[in-house]
Amino acid sequence: MSESEEKTGLSSEQIASFHERGYLVIGKFLDDGLIECLRTEYDREFEVARKSGGFRNLAIEDTDDVDKKNNAPTQMLQIMQMCERNIHFRRLIFHEPLLDMIECLIGPNIQLFHDQALYKPAHTGGEIFWHQDNAYWQCTPPNLVSCWMTLDDVTIDNGAMQLIPGSHLKALDHTRTGEGGPLLDVRDQATGQDTAVIDLPAGGVMIHHCQTMHYTQPNNTDRQRRAFAIHYMTPGTRNLRKEEHLEVGFERPMLRMKI
């Protein structure tokens, strides 16, 4: 089988495994040329964002104070919607081989929910507490899927994804610590359940369901961890909290459509 044939969609075993476990490890998926291009663009966007303030440091309380965000001792940096600022990431959300896999999981009508760059610098990278994405998103139907991809080799030490297999089958209560405060860690709601740790090489991809509990630990290594996530939904998805339909538009384009 040629490389391009290998990248078309998912096998029935992979689809069944995703539905049973709530995630699927694809492994190295992006071509080396694309990885190199995305690394350059990712670094450029973070350099710009660190000056303009167009990023969040999820390790501290949300603030517009650029110095606070840049100089906090712990750095879990996020740029939302890279696809609205950079043509290479715009192209990536339309990447056909990725969409071929997503189509096998949510069908042929695919809309972008959003994308995000998630950067853990070397030595100071912060953690992301155990959570289900849809506790933040409050989307219905809760069938969104995410492609989480790596631009560096990623192991547990520098922030590999950790997940609880099967946890997507039940939405858990996530309680906020205060109005607008961070969501609480929900790991204690899966006591005794195994954790899967997903090491990936640069250019690697894993896919997970919006209710799969996941976590990444702090990065105290001398290896940075650059990751990027694309969150896909079916058109007609609604946000329960805002009671709104997530309209198609520049920020939420249709990525594939079959009528």
- Is the Cβ of residue 67 or residue 142 nearer to ligand AKG in the bound state? 142
Residues 121 and 219: their CA atoms lie apart, in Å, by 7
For 178-223, the DSSP string reads STTPPBPP-GGGGTT---EEE-B-TTEEEEEETT--EEE--B-SSS
Give the CA count within 13 Å in the CB-facing half-sphere of 251. 6
- Is the Cβ of residue 59 or residue 99 nearer to ligand AKG in the bound state? 59
Which residue matches tokens 């973070």? Answer: 46
User: According to CB under 6 A, which one of 105, 117, 229, 233 is a site residue for ligand AKG?
Assistant: 229
User: According to CB under 6 A, which one of 139, 227, 233, 246 is a site residue for ligand AKG?
Assistant: 227
CA nearest 98: which of 80, 83, 86, 76? 83
For position 159 contacting ligand AKG by CB under 6 A, the verdict is yes
- Is the Cβ of residue 103 or residue 133 nearer to ligand AKG in the bound state? 133
Strand pairing of 23-28 and 56-57?
unpaired
Q: Which string of x and - marks every residue 91-130 that binds ligand AKG (by CB under 6 A)? A: ---------------------------x---------x--
- Is the Cβ of residue 9 or residue 189 nearer to ligand AKG in the bound state? 189
Strand pairing of 77-80 and 56-57?
antiparallel
User: According to CB under 6 A, which one of 75, 134, 150, 216 is a site residue for ligand AKG?
Assistant: 216
Length of the chain: 259
Provide, rounded to whole angstroms, the least separation between the CB of residue 146 and ligand AKG. Answer: 6
Q: Which string of x and - marks every residue 177-206 that binds ligand AKG (by CB under 6 A)? A: ------------------------------
Q: Reply yes or no: is the peptide bond before residue 218 cis, omega within 30 of 0.
A: no
* Residues near ligand AKG (CB under 6 A): 118, 128, 133, 159, 214, 216, 227, 229
